[in-house]
Each structure stands twice: as structure tokens, then as C-alpha cells.
């Protein structure tokens, strides 16, 4: 099961987080939130498998705060 570990402010931020987590060997999925017509400025959920969620949150918090 996939778990949301962060809600990024936009697609660019989400892609940066995805790349960082993938470099650590994690599977990552991005899912847009809200209205589709907002394009790249819409919030994006960063999801990882439930078994990797705690590690992913620690990495994201260390890198981006929260």
C-alpha cells in the first residue's frame, strides 16, 4: 500500500523530492491534488510504499524541513 509522506507545493518540488528518494533506493509515486487545470502549480502528493514511509519522512524532513 502507498502512503503519502509529503504534499509538495508544486510539481517541480515534488520531482526534486522524488529524485532524492529514488537515489536512496526507494520507490516513489507522485499524485496531483485538487483541480487538474492548475497544471504545474498544483499541490502534488509524494507517496512511497508503507514499509518505506518512516525512512522517507526522515529524509524529507532533514532535507526540506517541516
Fold annotation for 2-64: Alpha-Beta Plaits (3.30.70)
pLDDT (0 to 100) of residue 64 = 82
CA distances from 14 to 7, 47 (A): 8, 10
- Write out pLDDT tens, residues 13-37: 999 999 999 999 999 999 999 876 6
Question: Per-residue confidence at 65, pLDDT binned at 50, 70, 90?
Answer: confident
Sheet holding 2-8, edge to edge: 2-8, 44-49, 29-32
Domain residues of the chain, as ranges?
Answer: 2-64
Indicate if the pLDDT at residue 6 is higher than 80: yes
Place of cell 529524485: 19
Give the DSSP letter string of 23-40. HTT---EEEE-S-GGGGG
Amino acid at each position: 500500500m502507498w502512503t503519502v509522506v509529503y504534499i509538495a507545493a508544486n510539481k517541480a518540488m515534488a520531482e526534486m523530492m522524488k529524485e532524492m528518494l529514488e537515489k536512496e533506493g526507494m520507490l516513489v509515486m507522485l499524485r496531483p491534488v485538487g483541480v487538474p487545470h492548475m497544471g504545474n502549480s498544483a499541490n502534488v502528493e509524494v507517496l512511497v510504499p508503507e514499509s518505506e514511509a518512516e525512512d522517507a519522512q526522515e529524509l524529507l524532513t532533514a532535507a526540506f524541513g517541516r
